[in-house]
Structures are given as structure tokens and as C-alpha cells.
Structure 1
Amino acid sequence: MSDEILFDRDPKYIPRVAAVHDMCGYGKCSLTAAIPILSAAGCDACPVPTALFSAHTRYAVYTFHDTTEILNGYLDAWRKENVELDGVYSGFLGSAEQVAIIKRLYDEYPQALRLVDPVMGDGGKTYPTYTPELCEAMGTLVSGADVLMPNLTEASILTGRAYPGQDLDDAQVNGVLDALLDLGAKHVVLKGIDRGDGMIRNYVASAATGSTGKRELAHGKLPFMVHGTGDAFASALCGAVMAGRSLAESARIAGEFVRHAMESTQYQPHHDERGVSFELNLNELTGLVHR
């Protein structure tokens, strides 16, 4: 596949990216990750909060507030102030009705890149606040997505397939990639294939070449997992794309950033629950816009 550059960035320009995601007061994920990571990559992160959580759903106790009712007024105010956007990066949604909010952004900012992390679940299970209606609505964001970034659980939901586990051979990877591209995504980054050989693999494919032109990006696997790595990966990938890096290079940068952040995370208290600590590694992304 041609390793495509999706955003031609003027090095003096700071691109604006709407980060459509939830906000957790405690726990390393969603906007808590997206805002600093996009900022480190030289982006103006413009949050659109889809829900407010006291903590992420890995905790036994958390509060959840759906923000759907405020979002149209929120975006009305943006239009009155002539806010401009270069990208729309969407993640966790609080309700099925919020898909219309994202589509409104697509309509009002047709030139903006559509970067879709279809946050719905992991390990073969959906997240507690996700309903079948919300999963179905999330699927309508796939067609026209410039970059779709699912894990294997989300890819299974989107394509209507049974969750296959994390260990996929090349033929199975090709089948998943082609099924996602058939839904109308322009590019797909499939995350988290684990063949038990000490490596985690991500795959990049485009509609132009299909799965036969896919790129494999392998990263060393650490002997533990933590919450929030998917959000950190997607945010770093978006930041690298908006920094003018090619898509496959952006996926490689994001994978290495997450691996290094996980190395830092193991020394933080309560990291098993709280999630990935990336603060000490943000310089890797800042370097994208200064080299």
C-alpha cells in the first residue's frame, strides 16, 4: 500500500481537532488522555464531552452523566463564534443520539478529517454503559471515516462477526480488514493482535489496496496490561496524522508511545486500576512537530 499522508501540515500552523469523547475525573483514559496527547503533538484539542464519569468503568463505583442534552447548544455556540476544525476525532459516546452530534460536525466541517475510534468494548465484551442500540448507531460512523481504529472486539461488533480472540493468523486478519473496508472506511488501523510470541501487532490497510496491501506493525509486548492503552494509542495516532506523518508511520509512532508509556506506568501506584501513565513520554510526540 502507499503510505498515505492524510494531513499536509504547515509547520507553523496548529491544527484544531474536535475530541468527541467522555471525561473521567479519575482514571487514565478518554479526554484525560486525548487532550494532553493531542496537545503534545502540536494540536489545539477542542473537547466535546459526551459523558462525565467520576472514574472509568473498570472501577466498582463510578458516577455517569450523559451530556446529550447540552451538545447541540454547545455546537451552536461554536458556529456563532466561527470555530474552524481540521479534524473530528470521536471515541466513547454516552448515548445513541450522540451519533447525530458527530454527523453534525461532519456536515458543518466537511473538510475536516474523520478519525473514528469506535470505543465499545474489549476482550470480547462491551462496556457497561453500551446498549445494542448504541453499538448499532456507532456503526453508522464507519462509512466515510478517513481512519477507523477498532480493536478486535469492536471490529467484531461492527462487522457482525463472532469475537475471534486475539490470536489471528494472516488470513483471518485479512478477512477482518476487508470486512471493515467493505463498510466504507477509507483506511483501517486494526489493533491488538497477540499471537503469543512476545509481540503485539497492529495492521494498517486502505480501501485503495484492500488487505493485500496491508502494513504490519509489531511492538514488543510487556508482561502486563493496563486500562486506557486504546485511548492513548488512538490519540497519539491522531496527533501524528495531524503532525503530517503518514498513516502507517503514525500507527508505528502510536504503538511505540504506548509501549514506552506502559514501561513508565508499572512504577505508578494503583496502575492496575488507574491505567496507563503517559505523562513522562509526551516528549516523544512533541518531537514530531520540531524535528
Structure 2
Amino acid sequence: MTDTVLYKRNPSYIPRVAAVHDMCGYGKCSLTAAIPILSAAGCDVCPVPTGLFSAHTRYKVFTFHDTTDILPGYLDAWKQENVELDAVYSGFLGSADQVEIIQRLYAEYPNVLRLVDPVMGDGGELYPTYTQELCDAMGALADGADVLMPNLTEASILTGIEYPGQDIDDATVTSIIDKLLSLGAKSVVLKGIDRNDGKLRNYVATAEDGADGKIELPHEKLPFMTHGTGDAFASALCGAILAGRGLAESAQIAGKFVRDAMVSTRDQPHYEERGVSFELVLGEMTALLSR
């Protein structure tokens, strides 16, 4: 597979990204990650809040407000103001109806990059606010996605296969990617394969080269886990793509960014619940603009 550049960056232009995600008051994920990480990569982040949480769903106590009812008017106002966009980056959704909100953006901005993180769950389990209806609706975003970036739980939901766990062999990776590409995605970044050998692996493949042409991207696995790494990875991946880097290079950059962020995370209080602390390594994203 040759490394595909999805966005040719004009050094004097700041690309505008609609970030369709929830907002958490406490806990590092979704818009709390997307806004600073994409901004550090030189992007103008335009949030479309899909829900408001007091804290993310790993906490025992959290409040959730579904914003579906306000989003049509929100986008109507954008349309009246002739808001321009270069990319739509979607993640956590508050309801099945919000898939139509994203599809509306695709219709009104037909030339945008479609960057889809199909946030639904992890470790074989759905997030608490997700329903089967919402999971079924999420699959519609795979068709036509310029980049579809699921973890193994989300890949299983999208393809209808049984969750295989994190330790899967190369043939299984190829089979899963093939099924994801068959949904209509133009490229896939499959995240989080863990073979218990001290490395985490992500895989990149395009519809043009097929699953057999996938690229393996290993990173050091640290001896602890924390919340929010998926959102940090996806946001960094999108930032690197919009900095003009190739897709496989962007995935490599995102993996390193998350690994380096986790090193500083371990020194923060309550990091297991609060999530990955990326603030001290945002310079890695800013550095993408230097060439």
C-alpha cells in the first residue's frame, strides 16, 4: 500500500473541521480532546455538541443531556451564515437521530473529508447510553467514509461478527478490515490489537489496495491503561491528516502522540478515571506544521 495523502495543506490556510462529538465537563475525551489536539495541529475546530455530560461514562455518577432537538436549528444558523467546512469529524453520538445530522452535513458540504470514529464501546462492551438502534444507525456512516477508525469492539458491531478479543492473528485482522471496507469505507484504521508481546498494533488499509495491502503500525504498550486514548488517537490522526500527512504516517503520528501522552498521564492524580493527559505533548501536533 502506498501512503495516501487525503488533504493537501496550504501552509497559509487554516482548515475548518466540524467536530461532531459530546462534551464532558470532567474527564478527558470527545470535544475535550478534539478541540485542543486539532487546534494544536493548526485547525479551526467548529464543535457540534451531540450531548452534554457532567463526566464521562466510566464514572459511577454522571448526568447526560441529549442535544438532538437543538441541532437542526444549530445547523440552520450555520447555513444562514454560510459557514465553510473542510472536514467533518464525528464521534460519540447522543441518539440514532443524530446520524441524520451528520448526513445533513455531508449533503450540504459534499466536498468535505468524512472522518468517522464510530464510538460505541470498548473491551467488548457498549457504552451505557448506547442502544441497539443507535449502533445500527451508526453503520450508515461507514459508507463513503474517507477514514473509518474503529476499535475491535466497534468493528465487531459494524460488521456483525462476534467480538474476538484484542489478541487476534493477522488473518483475522485481514478478515475484519475486508468486512469494514465492504461497508463502503474508502480507508480503514483498525485500532488496538494487543497480542500480549509488549506492543499495541494499529492497521491501515484502503479500498484501492484492499485488506491484503494493509500496513501494520506497532507501538510500545505501557503497563497501565486509562480512559480517553481512543479519542486522543482519533483527534491526533485527523489533525495529522489535515496537516497534509499521509494516512499511514498520520496513524503512526497518532499512536506515538498517545503513547507519549500516557507517559505524562501516570504522574497525574486520578488518571485511571480522569483519562489521558495529552496537554504536555501538544507540541508534537504543532510540530506537524513546520514542514
Q: TM-score, normalised by structure 1?
A: 1.00
For the residues of structure 2 that align with 1:73 and 1:105, how far apart are their CA atoms? Answer: 13
Give the drift of 1:211: 1.1
Please give the per-residue CA displacement for 1:181-225, whole angstroms capped at 9, x wherever unaligned.
001000000000000100000000000111111000000000000
For the residues of structure 2 that align with 1:187 and 1:10, how far apart are their CA atoms? Answer: 23
For the residues of structure 2 that align with 1:160 and 1:169, how far apart are their CA atoms? Answer: 19
For the residues of structure 2 that align with 1:212 and 1:165, how far apart are their CA atoms? Answer: 21
Please give the per-residue CA displacement for 1:83-114, whole angstroms capped at 9, x wherever unaligned.
00000000000000000000000000000000
Residue in 2 aligned with 1:98? Answer: 98
Matches within 5 A, 1:149-228: 149-228=149-228
Residue in 2 aligned with 1:81? Answer: 81
State the one-letter code of the partner of 1:282: L
Matches within 5 A, 1:240-279: 240-279=240-279
Corresponding position: 1:45 with 2:42: no
Give the drift of 1:2: 1.6
Residue in 1 aligned with 2:10? Answer: 10
Give the drift of 1:246: 0.3
State the one-letter code of the partner of 2:224: F
For the residues of structure 2 that align with 1:246 and 1:290, how far apart are their CA atoms? Answer: 16
State the one-letter code of the partner of 1:15: P
For the residues of structure 2 that align with 1:290 and 1:279, how far apart are their CA atoms? Answer: 19
Residue in 1 aligned with 2:280? Answer: 280
For the residues of structure 2 that align with 1:37 and 1:59, how far apart are their CA atoms? Answer: 23
- What is the root-mean-square deviation of aligned Cα atoms in Å? 0.4
Give the drift of 1:271: 0.2
SS in 2 for 1:114: strand
Matches within 5 A, 1:107-126: 107-126=107-126
State the one-letter code of the partner of 2:73: G
For the residues of structure 2 that align with 1:32 and 1:93, how far apart are their CA atoms? Answer: 15
Give the drift of 1:249: 0.2
For the residues of structure 2 that align with 1:211 and 1:79, how far apart are their CA atoms? Answer: 38
SS in 2 for 1:119: coil
Same amino acid, percent of matched pairs: 76
Aligned residues: 291
Residue in 2 aligned with 1:60? Answer: 60
SS in 2 for 1:264: helix
Please give the per-residue CA displacement for 1:217-250, whole angstroms capped at 9, x wherever unaligned.
0000000000000000000000000000000000
For the residues of structure 2 that align with 1:167 and 1:185, how far apart are their CA atoms? Answer: 24
SS in 2 for 1:202: strand
For the residues of structure 2 that align with 1:254 and 1:44, how far apart are their CA atoms? Answer: 19
For the residues of structure 1 that align with 2:211 and 2:107, how far apart are their CA atoms? Answer: 30
For the residues of structure 2 that align with 1:288 and 1:247, how far apart are their CA atoms? Answer: 14
Q: TM-score, normalised by structure 2?
A: 1.00
**Runs of 5+ in structure 1 lacking a partner?**
none
State the one-letter code of the partner of 1:229: T
SS in 1 for 2:24: strand
For the residues of structure 1 that align with 2:2 and 2:38, how far apart are their CA atoms? Answer: 25
State the one-letter code of the partner of 1:206: T
For the residues of structure 2 that align with 1:36 and 1:205, how far apart are their CA atoms? Answer: 27
Give the drift of 1:143: 0.4
State the one-letter code of the partner of 1:220: E
Give the drift of 1:118: 0.1
Give the drift of 1:261: 0.2
For the residues of structure 2 that align with 1:148 and 1:108, how far apart are their CA atoms? Answer: 20
Deviant stretches of 4+, over 2 Å = none
**Runs of 5+ in structure 2 lacking a partner?**
none
